[in-house]
């Protein structure tokens, strides 16, 4: 059995190294697909008819619902799907339902690992592609401002243009001066 160094928790705020990222992926591939009522992982059950003794460990039999370890592509697809669910701001209970339906995983800890990795990748993508994200937001706000002006909602259009200026770095100070404290 190979021993790995413990990986940093995915939600620690620090970017993980690529080898730590691989360790998390490997851990997700080896996670059990289900859990019991207490949240403990359920592995294929041992055969109770065989006594446990020296040189005679219990041998588990694969259940009918046993799925083989997830491939690299399946893990990447699950992470991308988790990113979509996070972007859609789905409630955690609904995400767990979808994970059980789509992936066959009911283990909350495994689902949480996928979500943490998806969040981490979303942050890394936002940091690395910041200019592209800014351009997308400015384009969307321009469209919003045009539609607001067409509808006669000029306050909304001015607000959209103000946010565009903030994103573009043209507006640094608040428009209204801070109120005096009395």
pLDDT of residue 37: 74
Contact 10, 25 (CB under 8 A): no
Q: Are residues 116 and 139 in the same domain?
A: no
Asked whether residue 163 falls in the same domain as residue 96, the answer is no
Residue 139 forms part of a structural domain: yes
Is 134 found in the same domain as 90? no
DSSP state of 39: S
- Domain with 82, as residue range(s), is 18-38+69-128
For residues 23 and 107, membership in a common domain is answered with: yes
CA 169 – CA 137 distance, rounded (Å): 13
pTM of the shown model: 0.49
In a domain, 59, yes or no: no
Neighbours of 4 (CB within 10 A): 11
Do the domain assignments include residue 45? no
Query: Is 161 buried (19+), middle (13-18) or exposed (0-12) by CB count in 10 A?
Result: middle
Q: What is the pLDDT of residues 42-75, one digit of tens each?
A: 655 544 565 666 555 555 566 666 667 888 899 9
Residues 106 and 27 in one domain: yes
8-38 confidence digits (pLDDT tens): 444 444 555 667 778 777 777 777 666 777 7
* Residues 138 and 158 both lie in one domain: yes
In this structure, are 104 and 24 located in the same domain? yes
* Residue 82 pLDDT: 96
Please tell me the total count of domains within the chain: 2
Q: Is 135 domain-assigned?
A: yes
Domain boundary among 113, 128, 143: 128
Read off the pLDDT of residues 103-142 as tens digits, 9 standing for 90 and up: 988 899 999 999 999 999 999 988 888 888 888 889 999 9
Whether residue 100 is found in the same domain as residue 138:
no
Residue 38: both structure tokens together:
């207490």
Q: Are 33 and 85 within one domain?
A: yes
User: Do 88 and 136 fall within a single domain?
Assistant: no
The tokens for 66 are 């046993």
Does 81 share its domain with 93? yes
Does one domain contain both 146 and 79?
no
User: Looking at the domain assignment, is residue 6 inside a domain?
Assistant: no
The residue with tokens 């040189």 is 55
pLDDT for the residue 56 = 56
Q: State yes or no: pLDDT of 174 exceeds 80.
A: no
CA dihedral (161, 130, 26, 12) in degrees, to 10, reads -80
């Amino acid at each position: 059995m190979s021993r790995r160094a413990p990986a940093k928790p995915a939600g620690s705020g620090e970017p993980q190294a690529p080898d730590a990222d691989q360790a998390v992926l490997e851990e997700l591939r080896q996670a059990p697909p289900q859990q019991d009522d207490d949240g403990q992982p359920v592995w294929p059950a041992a055969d109770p008819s065989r006594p446990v003794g020296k040189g005679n460990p219990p041998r588990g039999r694969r259940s009918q619902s046993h799925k083989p370890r997830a491939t690299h592509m399946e893990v990447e697809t699950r992470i991308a799907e988790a990113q979509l669910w996070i972007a859609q701001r789905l409630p955690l209970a609904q995400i767990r339902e979808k994970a059980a339906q789509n992936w066959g995983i009911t283990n909350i800890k495994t689902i949480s690992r996928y979500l943490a990795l998806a969040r981490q990748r979303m942050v890394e993508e936002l940091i690395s592609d910041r200019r592209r994200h800014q351009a997308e937001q400015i384009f969307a706000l321009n469209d919003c401002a045009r539609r607001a002006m067409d509808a006669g909602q000029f306050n909304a259009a001015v607000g959209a243009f103000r946010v565009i200026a903030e994103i573009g770095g043209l507006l640094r100070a608040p428009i209204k001066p801070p109120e005096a404290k009395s």
